[in-house]
Amino acid sequence: MGKGGLRSKRGGVSPESMDELCINTIRILSVDAVEKANSGHPGLPMGAAAAAYVLWDKFLRHNPSNPHWPGRDRFILSAGHGSMLLYALLYLTGYTLPLMEIKRFRQWKSMTPGHPEYGRPPGVEMTTGLLGQGFATGVGMAIAAEYLANYFNRRGFNLFTHNIYAIVSDGDLMEGLSYEAASLAGHLNLGRIVYIYLDNKISIEGSTEMTFTEDIRSRFEAQNWHVQKVDGYQLEEIANAIEQAKGERNKPSLIIARTHIGYGSPNKQDSADAHGAPLGKEEVRLVKKNFGWPEDKSFYVPKEVLGRFRRAREKGERLEAEWNSFFERYAKGYPEMAKSWEQMMKGSLPDVWKDPLPDFLPEDGPMGTRYASGKVLSSIAPKIFSLIGGSADLGTSIMTYIPSLGDFDKDRGGRNIHFGVREHAMGAIFNGLALNKLTPYGGTFLIFSDYMRPAIRMAAMMGLRVIYVFSHDSIGVGEDGPTHQPIEQLADLRSIPNLTVIRPADANETVYAWKVALENRTGPTALILTRQRLPIIDRRRYADAGGLKRGGYIVADPEEGSPELIIIGTGSELYLAIDAHEGLKTEGIRSRVVSLPSWEIFKGQTKKYRDHVLPPDIKARLAIEAGSPMGWRDFVGLEGEIISMESFGHSAPQDVLFDKFGFSVKNLVMKTKGLLDK
Amino acid sequence: MGKGGLRSKRGGVSPESMDELCINTIRILSVDAVEKANSGHPGLPMGAAAAAYVLWDKFLRHNPSNPHWPGRDRFILSAGHGSMLLYALLYLTGYTLPLMEIKRFRQWKSMTPGHPEYGRPPGVEMTTGLLGQGFATGVGMAIAAEYLANYFNRRGFNLFTHNIYAIVSDGDLMEGLSYEAASLAGHLNLGRIVYIYLDNKISIEGSTEMTFTEDIRSRFEAQNWHVQKVDGYQLEEIANAIEQAKGERNKPSLIIARTHIGYGSPNKQDSADAHGAPLGKEEVRLVKKNFGWPEDKSFYVPKEVLGRFRRAREKGERLEAEWNSFFERYAKGYPEMAKSWEQMMKGSLPDVWKDPLPDFLPEDGPMGTRYASGKVLSSIAPKIFSLIGGSADLGTSIMTYIPSLGDFDKDRGGRNIHFGVREHAMGAIFNGLALNKLTPYGGTFLIFSDYMRPAIRMAAMMGLRVIYVFSHDSIGVGEDGPTHQPIEQLADLRSIPNLTVIRPADANETVYAWKVALENRTGPTALILTRQRLPIIDRRRYADAGGLKRGGYIVADPEEGSPELIIIGTGSELYLAIDAHEGLKTEGIRSRVVSLPSWEIFKGQTKKYRDHVLPPDIKARLAIEAGSPMGWRDFVGLEGEIISMESFGHSAPQDVLFDKFGFSVKNLVMKTKGLLDK
């Protein structure tokens, strides 16, 4: 395909020319938007427009009038920096995205942010821009599609037949995340995946020859993918390849499309200069000239092009209507299934809390909170089909493996996903599951949360209900030593906006932690659990564990009089605080014990409640937590004390470590006395 | 090789039987140590002992009497959980590791921690245990070897000919990090790498068939590796493969050794049960019986086995002596080279600070601190040959690319490393460079530090001098939006023990930040830099930027009287604080401005100094930082105020964002008044 003129002849447009016109419209809209914003990435949309056009025009089943239609194919622009490609397609095909918003590209509160954000503009399936995330999240969407198809489809009723399409770049493929996700996708035979890789040979520092010379075809074939190579400007070749890829149901597909960054820019095509900056006024003019576009117009969309693209609305509405009537018939035949379908679509879960939940007595302990978590999960998961999860090769340690639910593998109905030692891919796949209305749970040891941080951040940013199970939460890990002992991880998770972190103190707090997590519909929750066994706090004597729902609560108070000091603890240190409280009592010292399992939830309570738990006039406050002190002065102020970890840990048995590092009743008592002496 | 008896015949030991005896000694020492510790991983040492023995006995050039001999081969146990394999080898070959310490495996302050720690016991080249790190760090060591060989070797003087050996597991190969590192290693033709992969088909959750079925040979061949397959118990086959691998100088080598986890355990071999728990008393007895070992003895080392292994000392001393005399001759021929060699080995850098450094005046600005950093780096790097660095495809944005130094590629003398979009591998490779006496620098955008966190933590734990350059440090990123705007990353880096984080406020503070980083010999330093341009603070009017060396310092004070309030700022917010101070002054309000570029350094100052900067009686304190508020109450207490980011950012021009999110003089003035009214 050449860089042909605007029209092949006056008064009419040949089909071939119409394709060209459509493709050039995407390109030039993108160039104009970046130029106006004076910021952005023109090179990708220019290079990828042809392939994206073929995909959207000929294959993508979607309904611009309803971006939430469940039967739609998913499209991910993994290389999110090329956002204008996606915005152009959304605008042209008729999503709720006026041209005015394209003109406000990258401006405050516009619908067209620098990188696509989940639902903003409508039609964006997920937030992208962090390389590799889109690639891996699509794998989660493909797992969701298989699982939901297995669950809902019935003879003659294939509700789910959709594919997961993505456009990925060399940056995506260089990130380790994409190898992890590809390895698992190939292993699981996720044939619904069709990814187009823009092989444009250019990265920011220059030619990919400088850093990225692996054999992409062999790499993906080694991971059980179906691989094709095409010229990214031969429309028929592209269409044939997508057709082939769709037909391959046992392997994920990669289409390597040779493209050119900044295609059509006389001076910047095939150069890193076309990547991340506006082309410049003069070059924009040359591009337009090159494509036979009116040089003096900006954001120009030929009428017939818009008409052509907008056929997608009509087609989409018809597709959805067909699907809806199909679903109506399904609902008549399978009313229970339809009910649970609708519940899932609303994001609500069956109210399993009405059934008896595990309730633990002191004599059931001592018990690690990871065990308590496992018991809760085993009791609720069988009742909620949309809970699906697993672990990065530690399911039997973090107690997320539920044998009765079967494995997700060739059996698409199994619900234990074995992620392998691939924490980052796991995190991204959780996001893909959650984006498709499932509620994923699972995790790894807390220390390895470091390997999946970018995916956790994505979940928080997109507001997804993901439940992380992170066990082995402190030096309580013991002999495995400092590499495996989290110190700063707890603080680091607390620092992520919109992530709720809960570190329950015993088995009963763990029950409520799960309840909070399942009821949190606006963001992810991280459950921070112990490896080591903990006493189960006697709730007949101390406050009910239900206080966890407010993030922090008073566990114990002086029998008479108001407290002189407050000891605040979380997780495995709370029982030490309670023991210290009892010891102090015998010495006539009046202490309050506060359990503070979730900072985020506590900070969200009314000032009145917070001041009730932590009265401002009581300055003598002591916090104890086997982690970094960072952030604790939010609760103890400058006058208080913190017993925490200021260094990395050591390899030794857990009880030795707790003693050596000062997590003991003795040290607590000593420190409280020091505080009172001040 | 069978699980043969202790001796082939009474009174003498055939060479073949001696090999077996040696291998079985490693196995049973490991089993005994894990059993006594009642914790650990017996399966790997049992399975890998034969391959490790061949490597150490026939190939590894090392000197147990001097683990620091620079000419030594490097050996990395990437699968660090198999630590007893390494400890057995170190003890048997005669490193400073008494048998008593093997008996104290995994105990408080023993020399034998749960996972190998750099230098503990002596002979451990790096801390391992976090999967993938050893694999990737070895790539850094190989780059160091090539670079140092290129720099120091002279005609007839090949000072550096060593290889990088590692034992890696399926867990290592599943982590995305290993793919990233392998891709770069293959691209760079790092032929000194010889890795043995223990293909034992077992991971923690069960068979690797459950998750990991990619074709390993094809995968590595696609990344330009030389791949062989061997039976992990055929000693000659292993030896031949290592020989071949050593001979291949243009490709890194992978030897896929089919092994069996828990080899020789009648009931646990080939099962996940052998992975991470003691075998149990009865099974230990059966293992000993199986190997013809005295069943009643623990930690039994046949005398002839010890004698055989200890020949490594004599051999090692000879190798080092030869190398030393070789080096003496070299030093005579090239005295200047020898001098810089010795300086490097001591870890000291040429005192470039004696030469004039960039000094910036207000009229040189406004200037992003990333630009100032680039200017400092360009002025010092050419004078320090051991500075080597690069970026994950953002060198031209974070200003670490120095054209005059050439690229590290086929030209082994170049010093700009192009890492590709591989942040995690970059972090691990930095560690490998630093472990080999180089001083790596470089980085990426601050947001992408999330992708490399585990490697940063490793650097901190090992106390390595690595200098991270993280630019684009806040919502100042602007239009790229929330995916690219760091919020919590600054807090998260501050939370890592032994990492020094510095966020300079202007060009001159940036100069001192580099100075501090280069002089920090006990741990890594992260420089946090802006994308956007900042005014250069007039140091004739305000305090000298040298105050940065104390972490925090008074920048401005009232002209008369003591301050009523303190405004604390860092980085791009400091000039706002100064402007607010000037504004308040006109209203007769006496404020102090404190620059606090490094919390870690400031907290390390005397109480007297800290109280001088932040007098305890001044409670009216206001902090401003365009990042998470986490940790700021360490400085402003509960009475103070913090202007910070409590949510993710937005896509919009930087100045709009700063205004909308309250990072403005106006907001500062308003907040300070609110504080004074309290």
The answer to pTM > 0.95 is: yes
The residue ranking higher by pLDDT, B14 or B303, is B303
Element of type H or E holding A258: strand A253-258
Secondary structure letter of residue A537 according to DSSP: P
- Whether the per-residue pLDDT at B517 is higher than 70: the answer is yes
Mean pLDDT of A53-66: 98
Q: Cis peptide before B122, with omega less than 30 degrees from 0?
A: no
Q: Which residues in chain A are contacts of B492 at CB distance < 8 A? A: 488, 491-492, 495
Q: Mean pLDDT over all residues of chain A? A: 95
Mind giving me the DSSP string for A460-520?
HHHT---EEEEES-SGGGGGG-TTT--SSHHHHHHTSTT-EEE--SSHHHHHHHHHHHHH-
Q: Do B113 and A637 touch (CB under 8 A)?
A: no
Task: Choose, from A180, A283, A423, A509, the residue flagged as catalytic.
Answer: A423
- The pLDDT of residue A353: 72
- The pLDDT of residue B522: 97
pLDDT tens per residue across span B626-664: 999 999 999 999 999 999 999 999 999 999 999 999 999
Q: Do B407 and A187 touch (CB under 8 A)?
A: no
Pick B108's closest partner by Cβ from A176, A180, A660.
A660
How far is Cα B507 from Cα B224, in angstroms, rounded to an integer?
43
Pick B176's closest partner by Cβ from A113, A179, A650.
A179
Which residues fall within 8 angstroms of residue A547, CB to CB, at 6 or more apart?
A553, A554, A555, A595
Question: With bands split at pLDDT 50, 70 and 90, how would you rate the model's confidence at A14?
Answer: confident
- Whether the per-residue pLDDT at B100 is higher than 80: the answer is yes
Query: What ipTM is given for this predicted complex?
Result: 0.97
- The pLDDT of residue B1: 37
Gap from A37 CA to chain B (nearest CA, Å):
9
- Whether the per-residue pLDDT at A559 is higher than 70: the answer is yes
Q: Give the pair of three-digit tokens for residue A288.
A: 């337009």
Which residues fall within 8 angstroms of residue A16, CB to CB, at 6 or more apart?
A8
Cβ A364 vs Cβ A538: under 8 Å: no
Q: Which residue has the tokens 């490597």?
A: B55
Q: Return the percentage of chain A with pLDDT > 90, whole number.
A: 93
Q: Which residue has the tokens 């003991």?
A: A664
pLDDT tens per residue across span B133-150: 999 999 999 999 999 999
Element of type H or E holding B584: helix B574-586
- The pLDDT of residue A5: 42
Pick A652's closest partner by Cβ from B108, B128, B176.
B108
Q: Do A214 and B223 touch (CB under 8 A)?
A: yes
- The pLDDT of residue A62: 98
Q: Please tell me the least confidently modeled range out of A33-42, B94-103, B340-349.
A: B340-349
- The SS3 of residue A310 is helix
Cβ B460 vs Cβ B524: under 8 Å: yes
Q: Return the percentage of chain B with pLDDT > 90, whole number.
A: 93
How far is Cα A117 from Cα A435, in angstroms, rounded to an integer?
13
Q: Do B114 and A651 touch (CB under 8 A)?
A: yes
- Whether the per-residue pLDDT at A489 is higher than 90: the answer is yes
Within 13 A of A475's CA, how many CA atoms are on the CB side? 28
Gap from A230 CA to chain B (nearest CA, Å):
20
Interface test with A, best of B81, B84, B174, B610 (most A CBs within 10 A): B174
Q: Please tell me the least confidently modeled range out of A90-104, A151-165, B235-249.
A: A151-165
Mean pLDDT of B93-109: 98
- The pLDDT of residue B355: 79
Task: Choose, from B125, B320, B423, B573, the residue flagged as catalytic.
Answer: B423
Sign of CA dihedral A137, A142, A145, A148: negative
pLDDT tens per residue across span A530-555: 999 999 999 999 999 999 999 999 99
Number of helices (H), then strands (E), in chain A: 24, 18
Q: DSSP alpha helices (H): ranges in B291-422?
A: 303-333, 335-346, 369-380, 395-398
How far is Cα A675 from Cα A250, in angstroms, rounded to an integer?
66
Nearest CA in chain A to B132: A421
- The pLDDT of residue A1: 37
- Whether the per-residue pLDDT at B354 is higher than 80: the answer is no
Mean pLDDT of A47-67: 98
B264: left (phi over 0), alpha (psi -120 to 50) or beta: left
Whole-angstrom CA distances from A618 to A578, A592, A645, A676, B128 are: 18, 10, 25, 11, 46
Question: With bands split at pLDDT 50, 70 and 90, how would you rate the model's confidence at B159?
Answer: confident
Which residues fall within 8 angstroms of residue B485, CB to CB, at 6 or more apart?
B447, B474, B475, B477, B648, B649
Pick A176's closest partner by Cβ from B106, B424, B630.
B424
Name the nearest CA neighbour of B225 among B195, B261, B257: B195
Cβ B592 vs Cβ B613: under 8 Å: no
Q: Do B633 and A628 touch (CB under 8 A)?
A: no
pLDDT tens per residue across span B307-337: 999 999 999 999 999 999 999 999 999 999 9
Q: Strand A525-528's sheet: what is its strand order?
A: A416-418, A387-391, A439-445, A467-471, A525-528, A500-502
Q: What are chain B's domains?
A: 44-275+310-315 (3.40.50.970), 351-528 (3.40.50.970), 547-677 (3.40.50.920)
Per DSSP bridges, beta strands A416-418 and A387-391 are: parallel
- Whether the per-residue pLDDT at B590 is higher than 90: the answer is yes
Q: Please tell me the least confidently modeled range out of A179-193, A215-229, A342-356.
A: A342-356
Nearest CA in chain B to A130: B483
Cβ A322 vs Cβ A63: under 8 Å: no
pLDDT tens per residue across span A503-538: 999 999 999 999 999 999 999 999 999 999 999 999
- The pLDDT of residue A337: 95
Beta bridge partners of B595: B553, B569
Q: Do B652 and A106 touch (CB under 8 A)?
A: yes
Gap from A404 CA to chain B (nearest CA, Å):
16
Pick B177's closest partner by Cβ from A176, A447, A648.
A176
Which residues fall within 8 angstroms of residue A309, CB to CB, at 6 or more apart?
A22, A92, A93, A94
Nearest CA in chain B to A222: B215
Q: Do A497 and B638 touch (CB under 8 A)?
A: no
Q: Give the pair of three-digit tokens for residue B122.
A: 């002596």
pLDDT tens per residue across span A624-677: 999 999 999 999 999 999 999 999 999 999 999 999 999 999 999 999 999 998
Q: Do B495 and A492 touch (CB under 8 A)?
A: yes
**Dihedrals phi, psi of A120, to nearest 5 degrees:** -135, 100
- Whether the per-residue pLDDT at B4 is higher than 50: the answer is no
Q: Do A497 and B481 touch (CB under 8 A)?
A: no
How far is Cα A342 from Cα A348, in angstroms, rounded to an integer?
9
B147: number of Cβ within 10 Å:
23
- Whether the per-residue pLDDT at B182 is higher than 90: the answer is yes
Q: Give the pair of three-digit tokens for residue A42.
A: 């023109």
The residue ranking higher by pLDDT, B202 or A194, is A194
Q: Give the pair of three-digit tokens for residue A4.
A: 């042909």
Gap from A101 CA to chain B (nearest CA, Å):
13
Q: Do B420 and A651 touch (CB under 8 A)?
A: no
Mind giving me the DSSP string for B114-131?
SS-BTTBSTT--S---ST
Say whether A423 is catalytic.
yes
Beta bridge partners of B164: B74, B193
Question: With bands split at pLDDT 50, 70 and 90, how would you rate the model's confidence at B421?
Answer: very high
Q: Which residue has the tokens 């009648």?
A: B266
Cβ B568 vs Cβ B621: under 8 Å: yes
Per DSSP bridges, beta strands A202-203 and A206-207 are: antiparallel
- Whether the per-residue pLDDT at A8 is higher than 60: the answer is no
Interface test with B, best of A651, A657, A678 (most B CBs within 10 A): A651
Q: Do B481 and A457 touch (CB under 8 A)?
A: no
- Whether the per-residue pLDDT at B10 is higher than 60: the answer is no
How far is Cα B162 from Cα A211, in angstroms, rounded to an integer?
25
Pick B175's closest partner by Cβ from A110, A128, A421.
A421
Angle between helices B43-54 and B83-93 (to 10 degrees): 40
- Whether the per-residue pLDDT at B415 is higher than 70: the answer is yes
Gap from B290 CA to chain A (nearest CA, Å):
29
pLDDT tens per residue across span A444-458: 999 999 999 999 999
- The pLDDT of residue B12: 55
**How many residues does the structure list for chain B?**
678
The residue ranking higher by pLDDT, B353 or B180, is B180
Secondary structure letter of residue A10 according to DSSP: T
Mean pLDDT of B505-526: 97
Q: Which residues in chain A are contacts of B395 at CB distance < 8 A? A: 205
Question: With bands split at pLDDT 50, 70 and 90, how would you rate the model's confidence at B564?
Answer: very high
Using a 10 angstrom Cβ sphere, with 0-12 exposed, 13-18 middle and 19 or more buried, the burial of residue A39 is buried
**How many residues does the structure list for chain A?**
678
How far is Cα B569 from Cα B561, in angstroms, rounded to an integer?
22
pLDDT tens per residue across span A130-147: 999 999 999 999 999 999
Mind giving me the DSSP string for A574-641?
HHHHHHHHHHHHHTT--EEEEE-S-HHHHHTS-HHHHHHHS-TT---EEEE-SS--TTTHHHHTTTSE
Q: Do B481 and A113 touch (CB under 8 A)?
A: yes
Secondary structure letter of residue A357 according to DSSP: -
Whole-angstrom CA distances from B393 to A231, A272, B350, B422, B469 are: 26, 11, 29, 8, 13
Sign of CA dihedral A28, A33, A36, A39: negative
Pick B205's closest partner by Cβ from A109, A396, A460.
A396
Cβ A124 vs Cβ A74: under 8 Å: no
Gap from B165 CA to chain A (nearest CA, Å):
22
Gap from B414 CA to chain A (nearest CA, Å):
13
Question: With bands split at pLDDT 50, 70 and 90, how would you rate the model's confidence at A12?
Answer: low
Q: Which residues in chain A are contacts of B180 at CB distance < 8 A? A: 174-176, 179
Mean pLDDT of A490-494: 98
- The pLDDT of residue B16: 79
pLDDT tens per residue across span B530-539: 999 999 999 9
Q: Which residues in chain A are contacts of B174 at CB distance < 8 A? A: 180, 183, 393, 420-422
Q: Which residue has the tokens 């499209």?
A: A75
Pick A418's closest partner by Cβ from B109, B211, B454.
B211
For chains A and B, CB pairs below 8 A equal 338
- The pLDDT of residue A203: 85
- The pLDDT of residue B353: 72
A329: number of Cβ within 10 Å:
12
Q: Do A175 and B174 touch (CB under 8 A)?
A: no
Within 13 A of A148's CA, how many CA atoms are on the CB side? 27
- The pLDDT of residue A205: 85
Within 13 A of B158's CA, how many CA atoms are on the CB side? 3
What residue type is assigned to position A649 of the chain?
G
Q: Give the pair of three-digit tokens for residue A437.
A: 């209305």
Nearest CA in chain B to A224: B214
Cβ B215 vs Cβ A219: under 8 Å: no
Mean pLDDT of B567-578: 98
Q: Which residues in chain A are contacts of B224 at CB distance < 8 A? A: 213-214
